[in-house]
Amino acid sequence: MKVTKWRTATLALLAAALAAGAALSTASASTHARQATISLTIWADANRAPAVSKIADQWAAKNGATVKVVSKDFGSIRSNLGTVAAADAPDVVLAAHDWTGELAANGLVQPLYPSAAIRAQFPKYTLDAFSYGTAVKKLYGIPVQVENIALLVNTKLAKVPKTFAQLETAALAAKKKNKLAFGICVQQGAGADAYHMYPFFSGLGGYVFGVNKAGNLDPSDIGVANPAFLKNASLIDKWNKEGLINSKVDYSTCDTAFTKNKAPFWVTGPWAVSDIQKAGIKFRVVQVPPIAKASVPFLGVNGVAVTKYASAHNVASAATDLVVNFFSTPAAQTALAAAGGRAPANIKAKAADPVLAAFGAASKGGVPMPNIPQMGSVWSDLGQAWVRSTKGAGAMPARRSFLGAARSIAAKIG
């Protein structure tokens, strides 16, 4: 009887121990699972952070992951990426394409290798915009949005011009009628604005950097005062004399003149649309008509990139999947386009807003702003060349102004 009781007690203790062990094993597995859950951090600007968060959460739900989106001033993303502590660093960032050269050269972003099927959904220039390499170019970002300026036409005041001559004639007529200081409203100001002047620059045959045999931007080939442009530079002197373009004009001047039905033409971007719509102005968005060549705009391409910190956090594979296979989709790009007020980069994504779609059409043939570090030596001199030659009385002849700019840029680049 005593032996039976002892065996019974022993078996009970053993069962309790096994149950406890099982419970501990389950708890341990649960803890391990929680620890193994993938967690990604994304930096995005305040305007697009909610849309980025919503898209990323869809990916996270399918992959058993969590995503934290940190709202940043857009410009600070580039500057902070090289100084942030690794523990606080992002795995993915929303980025401008012209940061690519600097970020890639400093090893802050990782190359991406999307499939041919994914690449086929993007115009080549958008992929080129995020590509960098002195010998072999690699892709460092998936494009999500395209931004550019265009010619806005107040259709109450003027017809949409098909030629530059028509644009010039109608603009000068409005200048005279409404006693304006300009014909075509395009912002410059004392600080200069090479970006907004680029359609006129390209239309006259100008370019910033040529391309070498490997297909890479060549900083030794500076086209600011190339022969084709200089041949057409006298047109700038003509525009200055007749007041078609006035470098004293700034954004505020253009906004007021256009929304008050004074100026029929404004060269600007989608950021100006809300004021125009509030004023009840009926307008069209088109590309600036060709001058000697197509008057194409500079293009700004925004995208998403995987940072070096994703590897340090052991989430590089997950971050790459999110960026390459999820943010590239038409659905994700449509949502980001709506949030950012820009046209989507993916050709299968459609801008729901007809105005954004029109800006997208006006980007045809556009030139992505050079993404190599040497571009930093161009902006000021190119902008000031326009200021000097379009400031009205006392303006410098355009040929001399742009030759001077080209020499200054070459000296800075070395």
pLDDT of residue 151: 98
Q: Is the Cα torsion angle 209, 139, 339, 69 positive or negative in sign?
A: negative
Q: What is the mean pLDDT of the chain?
A: 91
What integer is the mean pLDDT of 307-326?
Answer: 98
pLDDT at 125 over 60: yes
pLDDT tens for 172-181 read 999 999 999 9
pLDDT at 101 over 50: yes
Of 180, 182, 232, 181, residue with least CA distance to 205: 232
- Proportion of the chain above pLDDT 90, given as a percent: 83
pLDDT of residue 7: 37
Cβ atoms < 10 Å from Cβ of 133: 16
Query: Which pLDDT band holds residue 139 (cuts at 50, 70, 90)?
Result: very high
Tokens of 92: 């993915």
pLDDT of residue 33: 38
pLDDT of residue 18: 38
35, 98, 399 from 267: Cα distances, Å: 53, 22, 24
189, 295, 296, 306 from 206: Cα distances, Å: 21, 10, 11, 34
Tokens of 212: 């070498």
Query: Which pLDDT band holds residue 15 (cuts at 50, 70, 90)?
Result: very low
Higher pLDDT, 361 or 32: 361
Rounded distance, CA 407 to CA 412, Å? 9
pTM for this entry: 0.83
41, 42, 128 from 51: Cα distances, Å: 15, 12, 25
Q: What is the C-alpha R_g of the chain?
A: 28
Under 8 Å between Cβ of 37 and 318: no
pLDDT tens for 327-360 read 999 999 998 888 888 889 999 998 878 998 899 8
pLDDT of residue 204: 98
pLDDT of residue 218: 93
98, 152, 156, 285, 289 from 360: Cα distances, Å: 19, 13, 23, 10, 16
pLDDT tens for 23-69 read 434 434 333 333 348 999 999 999 899 999 999 999 999 999 999 99
Backbone angles phi, psi at 85, to 5 degrees: -65, 145
The pairs formed by 333-337 with CB atoms below 8 angstroms and a separation of 24 or more are: 333/144, 333/145, 335/51, 335/54, 335/55, 336/48, 336/51, 336/52, 336/55, 336/144, 336/145, 337/144, 337/145
pLDDT of residue 342: 86
Residue 322 is classified by DSSP as I
pLDDT of residue 65: 97
Rounded distance, CA 277 to CA 272, Å? 9
Please provide the distance, in angstroms rounded to a whole number, between the alpha carbons at the two ends of the chain: 101
pLDDT of residue 336: 86
Q: Which of 57-71, 120-134, 267-281, 311-325 has the lowest mean pLDDT?
A: 120-134
Please enumerate in sequence order all residues whose Cβ is within 8 A of that of 150, keeping only pairs 6 or more positions apart, or say none: 267, 268, 269, 285, 286, 287, 288, 297, 358, 359, 362, 363
Higher pLDDT, 371 or 32: 371
Give the residue carrying structure tokens 């967690």.
39
